[in-house]
Structure 1
Amino acid sequence: MPTLLLSLETSSPVCSVALHRIADCSLVGQSELRLDKSHSTHLTVLIEQLLENTGHQLSDLAAIAVSDGPGSYTGLRIGGAAAKGLCFALDIPLIAISTLRALAAQVAAGTASPENFLYCPMLDARRMEVYAALYTHEGQEVLAPTPLLLDADTLAEQLAHHSVLFFGHGATKFQALLGEHLHAGFLTGIEPSAISVGALAVGAYHRQEFQDVAYYEPFYLKEVYTTTPKSK
């Protein structure tokens, strides 16, 4: 009987995969590659190596979880396509987990007295814009994922009443604008991880919160704009 959940995180330059046991949410193994623009060529290799290194095979998988976005458009497409392909081939359910919620849960799990803070993951959306959200330590949504144009007054109301931890590769831009603030803390080196995606996905599996594999699309949050090259 299949007992494992495979999670994929491809929303950022870090490409990572993880295996969890569905019965108790224990981590079986994880693998990641910090090589920009490597997802398309290395994701399936990471999956194969993780299964081999942990002594498992595809038939042991009961579900696939994927980081749902927002994040890199190309990365999300690659992760979504790989997850859908595996689900179709194995006839198993697909679970989508918010990239920002997983990132917040990852930080809250490692924070002392986590109930004292709100958690604000920020992913770079170029220029002075980020994809951001606000969560409690229990994962309750205070501010839904949204594109934010940053200035010194961004999230002023929340910062007036709460201590907020900011993290993710978009938070550095906000720190430069905000400067010193009594209620703001900035964490560095926090990257999206398939481990946190998988931990949340195990709960979703037991609640049977599955996606329609045929019609699933990642949560891009914004329209993707393309331009036509100028003719010479």
Structure 2
Amino acid sequence: MHILHIESSSKNCSVSLGTNGKLNSLCEEISLDFKHNEKLHTFVEWALEGAEIELKDLHAVSVGKGPGSYTGLRIGVASAKGFCFGNDIPLLSINSLYSLAFPFFHLEYDFIIPVMDARRMEVYTCVYDPTGNEVESTHPHVLAKSSFEKYRDKKILFVGDAVEKTQSFFRDLDPNLQNFFTYELSYPSAKNMIEASFQKYNSKQWEDVAYFDPLYLKEWK
């Protein structure tokens, strides 16, 4: 069973092919100027070639639903919908913050907090426990003195493209927090969607292809 995964919410244009819930092929590139519209379909072709299958062999398409770049999300979701309509297959979606946190589940951290840049002092964030359960749901958050206050005596991993901003903020707020907080610069990757997409497909948690919209969180201007 083959699922195509598309993650375009950040500077990382990422495409993977999962077969029976395992990574089959991966093609991705971090582009500082967001050239996703130029690269995405080429990456899809390469991922299919790497897996030695064709579009007609797909059972579903899974897309990173955001939050993240407005333009990146539009490109990814439009492409995913096109593949689903063209092949009459289900659409799945995975939270892009989950894809950020996924590689760090079941490690030594008390909580994993993905932080994606939302400009100025704002981030898109949520909170996961070590097993991947969502403790706080996805939301935009302005960094302030009270930010993540109830987690400050825990061992925390911040992961995402807003870690430098977050680290700088907490360093200025209280240098002692560096004894508890760890930071990992990272971007959502399609390879981290495979397990969750496989589970969603098997439980038929499919999106409505016609009406599905990305998780923008904020109005685009």
Indicate yes or no: 2:168 matched with 1:176: yes
Residue equivalent to 1:229:
none
Residue equivalent to 1:58:
55
May I ask how many residue pairs the two structures share in their alignment? 215
Contact 2:17–2:26 at 8 Å: present in 1 too?
yes
- 2:127 corresponds to which of 130, 134, 148: 134
CA RMSD of superposed structures (Å): 1.3
For the residue of structure 2 that corresponds to 1:187, the secondary structure is strand
Aligned partners of 1:198 and 1:84: how far apart in 2?
18
Q: Which TM-score applies when normalising by structure 2?
A: 0.93
* Cα drift, residue 43 of structure 1: 0.5
- Residue identity opposite 1:103 in structure 2: L
Residue equivalent to 2:114:
121
Aligned partners of 1:125 and 1:139: how far apart in 2?
23
* Cα drift, residue 152 of structure 1: 3.8
Contact 1:103–1:121 at 8 Å: present in 2 too?
yes
For the residue of structure 2 that corresponds to 1:143, the secondary structure is strand
- 2:105 corresponds to which of 101, 108, 122: 108
- Residue identity opposite 2:17 in structure 1: L
5 Å-filtered alignment, 1:1-232, equals 3-22=1-20, 25-35=21-31, 36-108=33-105, 111=107, 113=108, 116-160=109-153, 162-179=154-171, 180=175, 181=177, 182-188=179-185, 190-225=186-221
Aligned partners of 1:159 and 1:204: how far apart in 2?
33
User: 4+ residue stretches of structure 1 with deviation over 6 A?
Assistant: none
Q: Any unmatched runs of 5+ in structure 2? A: none
Q: Which TM-score applies when normalising by structure 1?
A: 0.89
- Residue identity opposite 1:208 in structure 2: K
- Residue identity opposite 2:4 in structure 1: L
